[in-house]
Amino acid sequence: MAITQEEFGRRVDGTIVPRFELVAEDGLTVGLIPFGAIITDVSIPAESRHPVNVVLGLSTLDDYVERNKPYFGAVVGRFAGRIGGAEFTLDGTTYRLPANDGASCLHGGTVGFGRRLWSVESIEENQLMLRYVSKDGEEGFPGELTTDLVVGVEQGEIRLEYRATCDAPTVLNLANHTYWNLAGDDSGTVEDHVLSVVADRIVPCDAERIPTGDPVPVDGTPFDLRSAARLGDRVGSKDPFIVDAGGIDHTFVLADGPRVVPELGATLVDPASGRRLEVWTTEPALQVYTGNDLDGSLRGPSGVSYERRAGVALETQHFPDSPNHPSYPSTVLRPGEVFLSKTMYRLFSSV
C-alpha cells in the first residue's frame, strides 16, 4: 500500500488542492481530492491494456468547483438526499434550508459538503483522514458539526468510515456519490450491467422525489432486485415511479436501522468484462440512481462525454426527508453522541 500526492489545482484564493493516490498491492488505485472529499477515479488492472477507470469524474479542479452538478465522487451532506419543503422541525424549532432542487433542499443545500474544502488530518501507510467542520447555521442547519472521514484502500477494497459529533442537536445523513461503470468510464451506458440489491422494500415517493410514507414491498415491481436484473430492462419500465424519475432514483431499504457490522447491500456486475462490485455497509438504505439526468454536457478525463446512464450511483445512507418522517430511522444527532458509519466497496476482476 502506498499513498502519493501531487497538486491537482488551485482555488481562486491560491489555496493548493492536492490529489492523493492510494495504491493497493494488487494495483487497485484510488484518486481523491479534499475538495468535497471527492473520489476522482478508481482504476483496476486490466489484461492487455492500461488500467481501467471504473468511476465517472472530471478533469480539473475548476470543473469540480463549477460544473459538478451530478456530484461525481463527492461526499454529500450535511443531509444527503432531499428534505421536502426545504425545512424541518427539531425540538420544536423549525429550520429553513436553501431550496436548491425545486421546493426541496438536496444534498445539504447550495454549498453542501461536496463543495467544501476538507482538511487533511493524517496520512498513514494505508489510509488518510479528512475533516470538515460545518459551522452552526451553515445552509440553515443547527449546531456545529465535526465530521471525520477515513479512506482506506486494501487489496480489492475501498473503505469509507465516517465519524461525526456536534455541539447542539442537529440532523445528519452522509453519502458518497460515486458513479460506477465497471466497463470503464469511457465505455458508454451501464444498461447492460446487472444489479442485485438486498432489499424487500423501497421508500415510496412523489414526482418531486419526496417520500410519501412508510416503505412498501418490492414484490411484483421493477424494484425487486433481490434476484439480479439487467439495468436497461428495469429503467425502461412503465412503472409510474420509474417514469416520474426518468429511471431509478429510489431508496432501497436494507434494514430497519443502522447496523454495527457492515452487511452486503448490493452487487453490480458487468457481464462483458466479468468485473463485479459488492457494496457492504452499516447504513439502513441504499439510494440507487441510474444517471437519469446526465446529458452529454460533461466530459471525463478520457475526453468521452457522459451521456444518460453513463454510470450508476450506489449511495449508502439513511432515508431521504427523515426529519419530516418520525417513523423513519432517526437522523438526529445530539451533543455527547457519536455518529459512526462504514461502507466498503469490494471490487473483483476477471483478470
Give the CA angle between residues 147, 106, 144 to the nearest 5°: 30
Q: How far apart are CA 36 and CA 117, in angstroms?
A: 6
Q: How far apart are CA 283 and CA 252, in angstroms?
A: 11
Catalytic residue among 21, 278, 315, 325: 315
177 is a catalytic site residue: yes
Q: At 250, which amino acid appears?
A: H
Q: How far apart are CA 21 and CA 42, in angstroms?
A: 10
The 10 Å CB-count burial string (b at 16+, else e) for 49-59 is eeebbbbbbbe
Q: Does residue 234 sit in helix, strand or coil?
A: helix
Q: Does residue 61 sit in helix, strand or coil?
A: helix
Catalytic residue among 21, 138, 177, 193: 177
Query: How many angstroms separate the Cα of 311 from the Cα of each of 8, 193, 226?
Result: 24, 10, 21
Q: At 206, which amino acid appears?
A: D
Residues forming a β-bridge with 249? 289
Q: Which three cell numbers stand for residue 38?
A: 471527492
Q: Which three cell numbers stand for residue 330?
A: 432517526
315 is a catalytic site residue: yes
Q: How far apart are CA 302 and CA 254, in angstroms?
A: 35
Question: What is the total residue count of the chain?
Answer: 351
**Omega into 234 within 30° of 0, i.e. cis?**
no
Q: How far apart are CA 242 and CA 100, in angstroms?
A: 22
Q: What is the dihedral of CA 224, 227, 228, 230, to 10 degrees?
A: -50
Using only the alpha carbons of the chain, give its radius of gyration: 19
Catalytic residue numbers, as ranges: 177, 315
